[in-house]
Each structure stands twice: as structure tokens, then as C-alpha cells.
Structure 1
Amino acid sequence: MDTISHYELRNYSSKILRRVEAGESFVVTDNGRAVARVIPAPRSPIDRDLAAGVAIAARREPDFDSTPLVDGPSTVDILNDIRRDY
């Protein structure tokens, strides 16, 4: 973990944040004393899976309007039947 002064963080924040986004971490010092750590934010589970190649990003939004409806009782009817049992 690299050490940077608060002066460096202030003056080169965009460069440092790009490095943090790439996975690096820093200890920030004030007058030579460690006062903070700058570490990458945790990735969301889907971002981790995409980066690891476990998941594949969708290529388009789903078209729910063209999804055929299933024959049978409606969800409301099923829930009402379940509630009658109690």
C-alpha cells in the first residue's frame, strides 16, 4: 500500500482516484502521521461476476409485452385460495 500526503491527494486527486478504481490502496498522511486510507469501494455482486467472466451482460432490455401469458388461475386467485386455508 503506497503512502501519499494529504497535499498529494488534494493536488492529484483525479489521478489517485483512477489508480484506486484500478484496485490500488493508499495511506494518507498529515505531517508524516497516517490519518486515513483510500481503498477501492466494494464492487456489486454483478460487477464482480461480470469482471470474473461468470456472468454476461444483457445485450438488450427484455420485452415483457411479447411474453405469452400462461393459462390457468391468476396470481390473485391462487393467493386468495391460500389465504382461505388459514
Structure 2
Amino acid sequence: MSTTNILSTQKIPQEATQLNKLTKVSSGYMALENFKNSDLHRGYFCYNCIYFMKPNHCAIVTDEGQDLHGKTSNEIASYGICSLWTPNEKEIK
């Protein structure tokens, strides 16, 4: 696969790519399974946080590892939440 055909619109400073992300536990992350089918544009969910990277990643929290409930996954759930949640005004309705 040639990488010359892949363009990115993200502007990440080089020094930022060397930083370690927080673990799910240290960030207070938990997947809220009860809200899996909810309108994620309303409420405090990863989906409408500025750090959420669709479809299931976070810019500052690792994908892998256990959450506060002891559940392990390799993603950040759009219906999850952590203590670092910061509103993304473009997603909140």
C-alpha cells in the first residue's frame, strides 16, 4: 500500500506525537453500556468530547486496558465518559 495517496487534515505538532496517553483507569474512563443506543449528541459522552477521534479512539486516553468497571476492550466507546471530558460544541445538540 502506498502512503503517498493518504492525506491527513490533522495538524499534530511533532513533539505531541511523543507524549504518552493516559490509561483508561487513570483518566476515569468507563463505557456506559446502558447508553449504547442513546442519542450521543445529548449528554456527557466521549462522542461529543473534543478529544474523541471517530469511530472509537481518544487523543489523550489509550484504547487498550481496563476501564473503571474492570471491563477490557481495545477501543474508546462513543457512549463512554472520562474525567477529562471537554465539550465539542460541533457535536452537542
TM-score range, shorter chain: under 0.3
Q: Which structure carries more relative contact order (alpha carbon 8 Å, separation 6+)?
A: 2
Max Rg structure: 1
- Between structures 1 and 2, the one with greater helix share: 1
- Normalised to the residue count of structure 2, the TM-score between the two structures is 0.24
- Normalised to the residue count of structure 1, the TM-score between the two structures is 0.25
